[in-house]
Amino acid sequence: MATVNSATLESSKTGGNILFQANVNMRFEARELNSLWELRMSLWEDDYVNDDRLGSEIKTTFRPNSTTVNRQMAKRLSKSTVDTEWGDEEVYGKITLVPLESPQPFKAASAQTGIETINE
């Protein structure tokens, strides 16, 4: 079964925007190689009551040709989108790996990145 071994999130500020980049390490079984997969990432601001989703989900498709695959995903958001409360913002990514082809029973996998603190 495919798994997300690790997912890290980094950020950098440029002008009025913040670029978030996730580095995702995945592992596949031999029978899952060369099948079509979709990697999804949504960004969330960690909040005491309810976490706030930041922008839309991004997706990329690929066909793994090795049992270990590293992929990068990036999303640029305006500072005003990220700034949801007073003080620093704590942002994390939700990562989902979804099979798009048979043979079954391929299963989806998911992970969460660590929190990236954005100093405002």
The model's pLDDT over 28-39, given as tens digits with 9 standing for 90+, comes to 999 899 999 999
Q: Residue 42: inside a domain, yes or no?
A: yes
Distance CA 99, CA 29 (A): 13
Q: Residue 117: inside a domain, yes or no?
A: no
Q: Residue 11: inside a domain, yes or no?
A: yes
The model's pLDDT over 40-90, given as tens digits with 9 standing for 90+, comes to 999 999 887 788 899 999 999 999 999 999 999 999 999 989 887 787 889
- Does residue 93 register a pLDDT over 90? yes
Q: Residue 114: inside a domain, yes or no?
A: no
**How close are the terminal C-alpha atoms of the chain, in Å?**
41
Q: Residue 115: inside a domain, yes or no?
A: no
Distance CA 118, CA 108 (A): 30
Min mean pLDDT across 5-9, 23-27, 86-90, 116-120 is at: 116-120
Strands 37-45 and 89-99: antiparallel
For residue 23, what pLDDT band results from cuts at 50, 70 and 90? very high
Domain span including residue 22: 3-99
Q: Residue 106: inside a domain, yes or no?
A: no
Q: What's the pTM? A: 0.83
| Predicted pLDDT of residue 104 | 59
Number of domains in the chain: 1
Angstrom CA distances, 30 to 1, 72, 76, 100, stand at 10, 22, 34, 16
Q: Residue 21: inside a domain, yes or no?
A: yes
Strands 89-99 and 52-62: unpaired
Residue in 36, 10, 20, 8 with CA at minimum distance from that of residue 97: 36
Q: Residue 46: inside a domain, yes or no?
A: yes
For residue 95, what pLDDT band results from cuts at 50, 70 and 90? very high
CATH number of the structural domain spanning residue 56? 2.60.40.10
